[in-house]
Chains A and B, each alone.
Chain A
Amino acid sequence: AQSVTQLDSQVPVFEEAPVELRCNYSSSVSVYLFWYVQYPNQGLQLLLKYLSGSTLVKGINGFEAEFNKSQTSFHLRKPSVHISDTAEYFCAALKYNFNKFYFGSGTKLNVKP
């Protein structure tokens, strides 16, 4: 069965420090992969997506992610975080030509001054 695992439910980090949010997916077939950000009481906003091609994907707000097929991972990184990055982040997978998205349980990033 398809599933997405976010290994950390909460990640505290100081402002201007680097951060990595981890995501692993399980699939016997190829998938598209996404990272979303959610601010309190709002919908999800797309940060970046991997469809094909280069395994290093750059997104908005200085975030990037690397697709690693052998490790079935799609970790999100940012070299220097800001207070405004405090939010919940969701990893998601979509099987090719299917309409069902699989979401991780979310990671709350708390950036401290």
Chain B
Amino acid sequence: DGGITQSPKYLFRKEGQNVTLSCEQNLNHDAMYWYRQDPGQGLRLIYYSQIVNDFQKGDIAEGYSVSREKKESFPLTVTSAQKNPTAFYLCASSIEGVTEAFFGQGTRLTVV
């Protein structure tokens, strides 16, 4: 079955450590997205990519980095510069600009 896979589902890290969240899709979608979700704040866009080797900052990119070396993969690194990294992170993909976004099951990151 086609879909988006995020791993791991739960992730614990110590403060000051970088951590990378995985996102893989086999839907052959060009566009991929990372969102952060906090209680009562909906989804906020971190980064998005429309094509391999290209990506754009979203509304809250500070403290995060991404890469898009393959069409299928869009990993997100949460760096030590992110002041409050504990959150639920969602990856999504879509056919460029014309359809709905498909979402992964999310990764819950807890920094202690």
* Chain A residues in the interface with B (C-beta under 8 A): 9, 32, 34, 36, 41-46, 49, 90, 92, 94, 96-101, 103-106
Q: Say whether A99 contacts B105, CB under 8 Å.
A: no
Q: Total interface residues on B, using CB and 8 Å?
A: 28
Q: Say whether A44 contacts B45, CB under 8 Å.
A: no
Asked if B101 CB lies within 8 Å of chain A CBs, one says yes
Chain B residues contacting A43 (CB-CB under 8 Å) are 4, 6, 90, 103-106
CB within 8 Å of A: which B22-46 residues: 31, 33, 35, 40-43, 45
Given A99-B48, A100-B48, A41 and B108 contact (CB-CB distance below 8 Å): yes
A-B contact count (CB 8 A): 60
Of B12-20, B61-69, B91-99, the one with at least 4 CB within 8 A of chain A: B91-99
Chain B facing A: main interface SS: strand
Q: Say whether B42 contacts A104, CB under 8 Å.
A: yes
Q: Say whether B103 contacts A101, CB under 8 Å.
A: no
Q: Least Cβ distance of B59 to chain A in Å? A: 10
Question: Closest residue of chain A to B45, judged by CB?
Answer: A100
- 7 sample A-B contacts, Cβ–Cβ < 8 Å, listed by A number: A34-B100, A34-B101, A41-B108, A43-B4, A44-B43, A44-B90, A92-B101
Q: Say whether B43 contacts A98, CB under 8 Å.
A: no
Q: Say whether B43 contacts A99, CB under 8 Å.
A: no
Q: Least Cβ distance of A27 to chain B in Å? A: 15
Q: Say whether B106 contacts A42, CB under 8 Å.
A: yes
CA distance A99 to B43 in the complex (A): 15
Chain A residues contacting B101 (CB-CB under 8 Å) are 34, 44, 92, 101
Q: Say whether A99 contacts B50, CB under 8 Å.
A: yes
Q: Say whether A9 contacts B40, CB under 8 Å.
A: yes
Question: Closest residue of chain A to B88, judged by CB?
Answer: A41
Chain B residues contacting A9 (CB-CB under 8 Å) are 40
